[in-house]
Structure 1
Amino acid sequence: MTDEQVIGDVASVLGVDPAELTAQTDLLDAGLDSVRIMSLVEKWRSAGHADIDFPTLAGDPVLGSWIELLA
């Protein structure tokens, strides 16, 4: 999964332009909630990232950290 795909998926669930997000963006501050995190977990698991789970993402809700996990 590319950085752009992760950013695009996150931007999509937040309803923002991907250009508004940076690696330092705290996604909870940006409006991401648990339901949206779970939708991303399911999407990314379906794409082959079986090791991704809610506690991992919620525990470090910074976009750059998520990119590192999924790259």
Structure 2
Amino acid sequence: MLTRERMRADIAALLHEQPDDIGGEDELMDLGLDSMRAMALLTRWAREANLTLEFSEFAERLTLDAWWAIMARAQAGA
């Protein structure tokens, strides 16, 4: 099961930042996360958690808090 902290750590690693530097409401694109890397992350998380995720849902709001809400809901429904 994917955790919020794992998501934060994975995002931080891609951005060459410390996980604590990624705030829940920080706009991930403003921090340097581009759409290709975001899609790669989502694909990896979906595969690891055996979930079907829609990138468009994640693209609506590009923050850790928003992404975690979507992921938590997806995992609860799996």
Matches within 5 A, 1:50-61: 50-61=51-62
TM-score normalised by length of structure 1: 0.86
TM-aligned CA deviation for residue 37 of structure 1: 0.8
**RMSD across aligned positions (CA):** 1.3
Q: Which residue of 2 aligns with 1:14?
A: 15
TM-score normalised by length of structure 2: 0.80
Q: Gaps (5+ residues) in structure 2?
A: 73-78
CA radius of gyration, larger in? 2
Distance 1:12 1:56 in 2: 23
Amino acid of the structure 2 residue aligned with 1:63 = L
Equivalenced residue count is 71
Q: Decide whether the 8 Å contact of 1:3 with 1:67 is kept in 2.
A: yes
Amino acid of the structure 1 residue aligned with 2:58 = L
1:3-52 CA distance string (max 9 Å, x none): 11110111111111101011111101111111101111111111125232
